[in-house]
Amino acid sequence: MPGEAVLDLASGAGEPALSAAKRVGPGGSVHGVDLVEAMLAGAIRRATAFDGPPPLFTVADMTALPFEDGSFDRVTCRFGIMFVPDTKACLAETVRVMRSHGKAAFMVWGPLADNTLFTELDQAVTEVLGEDPNHAIDPLFRFDQPGVLASLLEEAGLRNVTEQSLRPTARVPLDKPFWRASLDMLFAPRLASAPEGDRERINAAVASHFSGVAVEGVCPLHLHARIVSGEMP
Ligand SMILES: C[S@@+](CC[C@H](N)C(=O)[O-])C[C@H]1O[C@@H](n2cnc3c(N)ncnc32)[C@H](O)[C@@H]1O
């Protein structure tokens, strides 16, 4: 809403902070935080080209926020909270920095099986490297079931907690390496310890998997995400 103060947790390359800055307009403000400075480089670059008052971006851990109590009207977090082992600390900080009647919304992934991008990548990597004994991608889906994150929001003191399931299908051209950033991010530890030459085999396996699901050069990527939101008393 115009004029609001928004905090975006785990902003990464800048979304949804940059979109929020357009919505709050010149009378509002948006502050994005991320734990990893390198992740914010793209966000900061985009903010300098922003048409209007740009969002600010700061390196910070969302379990220990560098803001005064009651500083924000809204808190957003897209695909970030699942990376934080101490979810309760993150939600306690969210509640602390929000004003009375403020609103917080967290977007998380639904089940792995409902997300074509991740299932195909997982199968391709497993084909080349075998089963992952550490199940490194499991934490990404820790809030995939209805009610899990909602209960934690309620425990943290938020009211009127709601949950929305989103199931769009993205259609992406097969000839673009749309999968590369997700492969690098989700499977980084496995790729880093893989024997030399396996990276090429993984790339080939991934390309073959997406060719298998493509229709006339276009890959339908089914997505399942949840938005869990709540309000301050
Ligand atoms: C999948 S990215 C999401 C980025 C962006 N919100 C988006 O939707 O494109 C997850 C981000 O969470 C950040 N992150 C992980 N743990 C964090 C923490 N404790 N505090 C702040 N950010 C964290 C990572 O550095 C990464 O940039």
Ligand 1 interacting residues, C-beta cut-off 6 A: 10-13, 15, 33-36, 39, 61-63, 78-80, 83-84
d(CA 103, CA 39): 25
**Does residue 131 belong to any structural domain of this protein?**
yes
**Does residue 149 belong to any structural domain of this protein?**
yes
Is a pLDDT exceeding 90 seen at residue 1?
no
Task: State the DSSP code for 164.
Answer: E
d(CA 117, CA 223): 8
* CATH code of 106's domain: 3.40.50.150
- DSSP lists the bridge partners of residue 57 as 32
> Mean per-residue pLDDT for 69-74?
98
* Domain of residue 120, residue span: 61-231
Distance 12 CA to ligand 1 centre (A): 5
What's the number of domains the chain is made of?
Answer: 1
In ligand 1, the atom with minimum distance to the C-alpha of 39 is 27
User: What confidence tens digit (pLDDT) does each residue in 161-219 have?
Assistant: 999 999 999 999 999 999 999 999 889 888 888 888 898 999 999 999 999 999 999 99
**Does residue 52 belong to any structural domain of this protein?**
no
**Does residue 137 belong to any structural domain of this protein?**
yes
**Does residue 87 belong to any structural domain of this protein?**
yes
**Does residue 10 belong to any structural domain of this protein?**
no
**Does residue 95 belong to any structural domain of this protein?**
yes
Q: With CA atoms as reference, report the closest residue to 4 among 69, 61, 75.
A: 75
* Residue of 6, 7, 11, 77 best suited for mutating to test ligand 1, as the one with most atoms within 8 Å of CB: 11
